[in-house]
Amino acid sequence: MHTIFHLDLDAFFVSVERVLDPSLEGKPVIVGGDPEGRGVVSTCSYEARKFGLHSAMPIRQAYKLCPQGIYLRGHFSEYIHYSKAVKKILEEYAPLIEQSSIDEYYIDFTGCEKIYGDFPKFALFLQNEIKEKLSLPCSIGIGSNKTIAKIGSDFKKPMGVTYVAPGDEKKFLSPLPVEKMPGVGKVTLKELQSRGIYTVGDIAKLPQDYFATDFGKSGLDLWRKANGEGTEFLTIKREQKSISKETTYSEDVVDKKLLEDTLFNLTSKVAQTLRDNNFMASTIGIKLRYSDFQTIERAKTIRPTDDDKVIYETVVDLFRKAFTRRVAVRLIGVHLTKFANFAEQGYLFESEDEKRKKLLKAVNIVRSKYGFGSVQLGSLKEAD
Ligand SMILES: [Mg+2]
């Protein structure tokens, strides 16, 4: 029997904002941008939820419901910092951790009962550790697989601990509304309700074939999960350490303009790889090898980004400071490191306008369809 914990930080972005500014405690706080803007609520405090606010609600609508709320753009690099700090605490106790988003962690404690004793008590201990060391509240679900653990962490929030004993999976799931099942979105929910299926128990009672035929593979998956099954193993991704791209010239180059053009192309390539992987980089570096083989590397750490323009400006700045000899260059390269794998959430906190974000997305689509050369940074510059 496996024992999986799912730890979910409660209203994470708001909780971090409260660490940074304790005067926000007890107030309706909304993270996700300017109330006049077009953004959506990223996270809101439990006080704000009393006004009917929830994640993904358009900010303007939220503002109508709760004009007295405190609306913040958010501090994305702080969220990454705290997200890592939580993982560090967990690593002191856990043999295996899968971080599934910026504020969610699966932890495999299978076979650890001899070390940690009673699991619910141990969950309270972990919760307390994180609260004491980082002032962040979290909820924990414990179950025999990932699905049960995840539904469990959402069952009592904030600061909840939910333990589903082995064998009790179906009993626990049965009364829950179907939308509590991971993977049941608006469309599936409507479809299920139109068939008179409202609770997870309703799904479990029906024959397996009913779902397999009408909903395909995902239906079968849903039926299995409703019956208490789920994945028992964590997915541990190997961290990619860096993205880099280099060019060796067939003839050594001394022309600064040509070197900068090359850097420009290399930047576009590494930035595209970065976005393809949903990463953000915070350390930008260059490499120069002169014709006499002297090699220079320079790097700079900036706010996490996946934006060509920001990366290129940093690259050129590094290059101009490093390229001091009037000697021809043989090789030139760009590298990015220190990734945050939460680029999507990060977009919400970039201060530049919507247009630019959409453009970047469009550039990626065009590039992947027609090849990298079809859209260059020049078009991005014009957009500013
Ligand atoms: Mg959370």
Q: Is 98 a catalytic residue?
A: no
Asked if residue 83 is part of any domain, the answer here is no
What is d(CA 255, CA 112) in angstroms, rounded to the nearest whole number? Answer: 63
Query: Where does the pLDDT of residue 39 fall: very low under 50, low under 70, confident under 90, or very high at 90 and above?
Result: confident
User: Cα of 153 to ligand 1 centre, how many Å?
Assistant: 9
Query: Where does the pLDDT of residue 368 fall: very low under 50, low under 70, confident under 90, or very high at 90 and above?
Result: low
User: Cα of 142 to ligand 1 centre, how many Å?
Assistant: 16
What is d(CA 274, CA 265) in angstroms, rounded to the nearest whole number? Answer: 14
pLDDT at 350 (0 to 100): 42
pLDDT at 359 (0 to 100): 54
User: Cα of 309 to ligand 1 centre, how many Å?
Assistant: 32
Asked if residue 101 is part of any domain, the answer here is yes
Residue with the two structure tokens 């990223």? 42
Residue range of the domain that includes 340: 242-383
Asked if residue 337 is part of any domain, the answer here is yes
350's enclosing H/E stretch is none
Domain boundary, last residue among 20, 47, 77: 77
- Residue 361 has φ and ψ, to the nearest 5°, of -65, -45
Cα-based angle 158, 200, 96 (whole degrees, multiple of 5): 55
Query: Over the stretch 122-171, which tens digit does the pLDDT of each residue have?
Result: 999 999 999 999 999 999 999 999 999 999 999 999 999 999 999 999 99
Give the pair of three-digit tokens for residue 96: 């295996």
Residue with the two structure tokens 């940093």? 314
User: Cα of 12 to ligand 1 centre, how many Å?
Assistant: 6
253 and 371, same domain (yes or no): yes
111 and 200, same domain (yes or no): yes
Q: Which among 98, 104, 129, 191 is annotated as catalytic?
A: 104
Specify the CATH number for the domain of residue 366: 3.30.1490.100
Asked if residue 49 is part of any domain, the answer here is yes
User: Cα of 302 to ligand 1 centre, how many Å?
Assistant: 27
User: Cα of 80 to ligand 1 centre, how many Å?
Assistant: 14
Asked if residue 232 is part of any domain, the answer here is no
Could you give the percent of the chain with pLDDT greater than 70? 87
Mean pLDDT of 175-189: 92
Residue with the two structure tokens 């068939």? 195
Domain boundary, last residue among 226, 257, 282: 226
Query: Over the stretch 17-38, which tens digit does the pLDDT of each residue have?
Result: 999 999 999 999 999 877 777 7
| Mean pLDDT (the chain, rounded) | 86
260 and 370, same domain (yes or no): yes
pLDDT at 93 (0 to 100): 87
User: Cα of 87 to ligand 1 centre, how many Å?
Assistant: 14
307's enclosing H/E stretch is none
188 and 263, same domain (yes or no): no
216 and 331, same domain (yes or no): no
- pLDDT at 372 > cutoff 50: no
Domain count of the fold of the chain: 3
Domain boundary, last residue among 27, 52, 77: 77
Mean pLDDT of 194-208: 96
209 and 250, same domain (yes or no): no
For the entire predicted model, the pTM comes to 0.65
* Residues 6+ positions from 263 with CB-CB distance below 8 Å: 286, 312, 315, 316, 319, 332, 334
- Residue 340's DSSP bridge partners are 280
Asked if residue 274 is part of any domain, the answer here is yes
108 and 184, same domain (yes or no): yes
Asked if residue 56 is part of any domain, the answer here is yes
- pLDDT at 120 > cutoff 60: yes
User: Cα of 287 to ligand 1 centre, how many Å?
Assistant: 40
What single-letter amino acid sits at 71?
Y
155 and 196, same domain (yes or no): yes
Specify the CATH number for the domain of residue 122: 3.30.70.270
Specify the CATH number for the domain of residue 59: 3.40.1170.60
- Residue 68 has φ and ψ, to the nearest 5°, of -80, 0
Nearest to 181 by CA among 135, 143, 227: 227
57 and 100, same domain (yes or no): no
- CB-based contact 104:94 (threshold 8 Å): no
What is d(CA 146, CA 315) in angstroms, rounded to the nearest whole number? Answer: 42
Give the pair of three-digit tokens for residue 237: 């991704």
Query: Over the stretch 301-323, which tens digit does the pLDDT of each residue have?
Result: 888 888 899 999 999 999 999 99
60 and 150, same domain (yes or no): no
User: Cα of 81 to ligand 1 centre, how many Å?
Assistant: 16
Asked if residue 86 is part of any domain, the answer here is no
What is d(CA 274, CA 364) in angstroms, rounded to the nearest whole number? Answer: 11
Q: How many CA atoms lie within 13 A of 374 on its CB side?
A: 10
pLDDT at 130 (0 to 100): 98
pLDDT at 363 (0 to 100): 54
Question: In whole angstroms, what separates CA 228 from the centre of its chain?
Answer: 27
Nearest to 73 by CA among 137, 150, 20: 20
323 and 194, same domain (yes or no): no
157 and 247, same domain (yes or no): no
Using N-to-C axis directions, what is the helix angle for 256-276 and 354-370, rounded to 10°? Answer: 90
- Residue 9's DSSP bridge partners are 138
pLDDT at 345 (0 to 100): 43
Question: In whole angstroms, what separates CA 369 from the centre of its chain?
Answer: 26
- pLDDT at 379 > cutoff 60: no
- CB-based contact 142:121 (threshold 8 Å): no
